[in-house]
């Protein structure tokens, strides 16, 4: 029939398209995580701040290409200096989250990193209460108990536990939750709301500006070392280019999956993605795991699922 959308819900082509998006989302998310771990821990590229700056540079360039040239989404403009300051604040927190997460990967296995990252709902609930004084139903807070308890158990049973790496991962998780809460508060008015792709378009260049002096100060010889390493092994250049591009596609596929599925589906897929990342990382890096550690991670994931279910029913 004329005028019929080939991607209407329920059509086989629509289902295949959505499955393809989910597959791309999983691949990019798990791929960038594992490649970060390989570069920072196994390959010997010990520069998490510079690596994050590479990610943000790629996000800046590719976001502009996707929005200004390819018209994936309409371009939204910054309408005031106040809105710019709000976006800059979110960018600083975003930087702190990504840098802390990359630093933690130098010291922790991906499996334990993902277990800690699963506690994001706990930090989101805490920050939401502190900043908005908005109380959730008591049952919502009860479901956060296994979320935290699971990580405590996993920490006690983690053979590769590293205190500094653990603290960095906690900081990354807390910063990620803080950004989420602040984004809802700061960009809540209709005139200031930006979709995730446009927000990334403006946040990424600000992040590069913030990360450049941090890189020069804390990793002063990174360019010279990287050039020397590239002369010895040119693969490092391709690793960085691919890894940085993949970091952008994490954001792109997350936006597209959100657009083409429901919020509940996204939560379920997100929980499963963490479990898949854990299994793949253990098979790939062969890091030691314990029964207690896996039990703790399972309890955390169970708590996150309960939390999502209670939140859905309370709406």
Q: What would the mean pLDDT of 201-214 be, rounded to a whole number?
A: 97
With bands split at pLDDT 50, 70 and 90, how would you rate the model's confidence at 262? low
Q: What is the DSSP letter of 187?
A: T
pLDDT at residue 270 in the model = 78
Region for 261 from its dihedrals, namely left if φ exceeds 0, alpha if ψ lies in -120 to 50, beta otherwise:
beta
Assess whether pLDDT exceeds 90 at residue 7: no
Helices (H), the chain: 12-37, 48-64, 81-107, 110-117, 120-132, 138-156, 163-186, 196-218, 222-232, 235-260, 263-285, 291-314
Q: What would the mean pLDDT of 4-20 be, rounded to a whole number?
A: 62
**Cβ atoms of residues 237 and 29 within 8 Å:** no
Q: What would the mean pLDDT of 182-208 be, rounded to a whole number?
A: 91
The predicted-structure confidence for 126-176, as pLDDT tens digits, reads as follows 999 999 877 788 888 999 999 999 999 999 888 989 999 999 999 999 999
Assess whether pLDDT exceeds 50 at residue 289: yes
pLDDT at residue 6 in the model = 40
pLDDT at residue 13 in the model = 65
pLDDT at residue 201 in the model = 96
Phi first, then psi, for residue 156 (nearest 5°) are -65, -30
Burial 78-104 (b: 16+ CB within 10 A, else e): eeeeebeebbeebbbbbbbbbbbbbbb
Q: What's the alpha-carbon Rg for the chain, to the nearest Å?
A: 20
Assess whether pLDDT exceeds 80 at residue 3: no
With bands split at pLDDT 50, 70 and 90, how would you rate the model's confidence at 8? very low
Assess whether pLDDT exceeds 60 at residue 2: no
pLDDT > 90: percent of the chain: 64
With bands split at pLDDT 50, 70 and 90, how would you rate the model's confidence at 11? low
Phi first, then psi, for residue 157 (nearest 5°) are -105, 10
pLDDT > 70: percent of the chain: 94
Separation in Å, CA 198 to CA 58, 180, 287: 15, 16, 38
The CA angle 262-309-289, to the nearest 5 degrees, is: 100
Q: How far apart are the first and last CA of the chain?
A: 39
The predicted-structure confidence for 48-106, as pLDDT tens digits, reads as follows 999 999 999 999 999 999 999 999 999 999 999 999 999 999 999 999 999 999 999 99
């Amino acid at each position: 029939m004329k005028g019929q959308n080939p991607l209407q819900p329920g059509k086989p082509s629509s289902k295949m398209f959505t499955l393809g998006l989910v597959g791309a989302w999983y691949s990019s998310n798990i791929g960038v995580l594992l490649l970060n771990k390989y570069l920072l821990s196994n390959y010997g590229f010990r520069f998490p701040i510079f690596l994050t700056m590479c990610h943000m540079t790629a996000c800046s360039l590719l976001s502009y290409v996707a929005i200004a040239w390819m018209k994936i989404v309409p371009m939204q403009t910054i309408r005031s200096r106040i809105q710019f300051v709000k976006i800059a604040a979110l960018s600083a927190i975003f930087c702190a989250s990504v840098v802390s997460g990359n630093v933690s990967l130098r010291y922790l296995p991906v499996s334990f990193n993902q277990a800690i990252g699963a506690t994001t709902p706990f930090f989101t609930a805490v920050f939401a209460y502190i900043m908005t004084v908005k109380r959730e139903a008591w049952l919502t807070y009860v479901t956060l108990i296994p979320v935290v308890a699971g990580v405590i158990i996993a920490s006690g049973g983690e053979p590769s536990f590293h205190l500094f790496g653990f603290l960095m991962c906690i900081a990354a998780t807390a910063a990620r939750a803080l950004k989420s809460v602040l984004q809802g508060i700061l960009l809540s008015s209709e005139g200031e709301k930006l979709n995730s792709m446009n927000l990334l378009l403006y946040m990424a260049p600000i992040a590069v500006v913030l990360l450049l002096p941090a890189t020069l100060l804390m990793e002063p010889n990174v360019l010279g070392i990287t050039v020397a390493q590239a002369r010895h092994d040119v693969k490092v250049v391709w690793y960085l280019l691919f890894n940085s591009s993949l970091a952008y596609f994490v954001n792109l596929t997350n936006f597209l999956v959100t657009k083409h599925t429901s919020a509940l589906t996204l939560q379920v897929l997100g929980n499963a993605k963490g479990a898949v990342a854990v299994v793949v990382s253990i098979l790939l890096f062969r890091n030691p795991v314990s029964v207690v550690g896996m039990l703790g991670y399972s309890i955390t994931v169970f708590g996150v699922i309960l939390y999502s279910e209670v939140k859905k029913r309370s709406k």
